[in-house]
Structure 1
Amino acid sequence: MNSYYKGWIDGVLSVDNSDLTGFYWSYESCLQTTSYDGAHVTKEFIQYMSNYIHSNGLELVWIPTIGDRTMEQVKTFCAIPTLAKYFNHVFVQPHYYQTTKLSDGSDYTFQELVRRVGWMASKGLSIEMEADNSIIGEKSNCAYCKSTQGTWEDDHFKEKVGCDESPTPETEEECINRACDYYRAITEVNPSAFSTRAYYFGTDLRVVDKVRSKCPDW
């Protein structure tokens, strides 16, 4: 009742804004409300926040990330399906565009992406389509413009985040293809599985245009 978040929501609601349709829950951890979540968010807190926002006639949206976890880890540790009922829309971030390796060191292949898309569809979840400014030749986080593709630290596979150099035309094309894999995976599972989608495209709408020039249904 007296949390920072309620005060923040009340502050927003105190402003007359006919364009306001809802709130985005910005904590992206798929582990929240579980014993593995260091932030110690409770299901009761999520439920109260959801009820409070909905009582004001507004929506609540969540875009959690499953990161580089294996599919088995996602099914075992991630609380997304159990929390989905408190949100109007849940768009899962596959994290496929950003990395080519999973936490156990195995390859994050297209078929692994298909497995995740199938899991989302089976749970009634939606998807975030991911791309970024790497596609328009700027430093960003596409997996193919990371300088380190294989080191082991603390028994966990890690990739260096971010482009050290601007992407080459060849790298841009690889990044576009990886972004297009999202829609290709959807078509393998069910072309009509996600009636709504969220989009991450960096900071420039040209990213969307360029991806769609290669795969129009992205």
Structure 2
Amino acid sequence: MVHKNDISALSEKIKDWGQQFIWIPYAHEGINLEHTDIKVIAEYFTYVFAQPNYYQGKTNDFNEWSYLFKSFKNGHALSNLFVEMECDSGVQRGKCFDNKSAGECMSRACEYVKYFGNYPQKAYYYGTDIQNLVVMKEHCPGYID
């Protein structure tokens, strides 16, 4: 378990070095971010990028997730909270949430971009194959600015 005081000390040291302190927590509770540590320690980070893992299918309604995310962000005054833009080999070969086809995975990824691609700060995850990034850029407008 990491303690708030440890994160605070680490943050201070990193920022003293002129570096950014970035955290990409897994939003494992799906659409309920209240059950994460984000609201407790986000203040110590330069940027926090919530990783909702859209392939896991905790929600099929990105409109709802987007609304709840914005409510959480605003309700806790987290101006440094954004969303990670992610994809993996599912966009090329399938096997994302519920073993969907590559086309279904791509469609889900593009839907995700539609709701979360407008944030001014972004972190990207594309697995271990840069082609995933290339495919996303070609098929999902707004994935990369």
What's the TM-score once normalised by structure 2's chain length? 0.82
| Aligned CA distance change for structure 1 residues 64 and 108 (closer, same or farther; 3 Å) | same
| Aligned CA distance change for structure 1 residues 137 and 181 (closer, same or farther; 3 Å) | same
Aligned length: 139
**Bigger Rg over Cα:** 1
User: Offset at 1:70?
Assistant: 4.2
| Aligned CA distance change for structure 1 residues 116 and 203 (closer, same or farther; 3 Å) | farther
1:143 pairs, out of 74, 93, 97, with 97
Take 2:132 and 2:72, find their aligned partners in 1: how far apart are those partners?
Answer: 25
**CA RMSD across the alignment:** 2.2
Take 1:43 and 1:213, find their aligned partners in 2: how far apart are those partners?
Answer: 41
List runs of 5+ in structure 2 lacking aligned partners. Answer: none
Take 1:111 and 1:59, find their aligned partners in 2: how far apart are those partners?
Answer: 31
Aligned match of 1:90: 48
Aligned match of 1:184: 114
Higher relative contact order, chain-length normalized (CA < 8 Å, sep 6+):
2
List runs of 5+ in structure 1 lacking aligned partners. Answer: 1-38, 147-170
Aligned match of 2:37: 79
The answer as to whether partners of 1:68 and 1:95 remain within 8 angstroms in 2 is no
SS at match of 1:127: strand
* 1:30-179 equivalent positions in 2, closer than 5 A: 39=1, 41-71=2-32, 74-75=33-34, 77-96=35-54, 98-100=55-57, 102=58, 107-119=59-71, 121-122=73-74, 123-124=78-79, 125-137=81-93, 142-145=96-99, 171-179=101-109
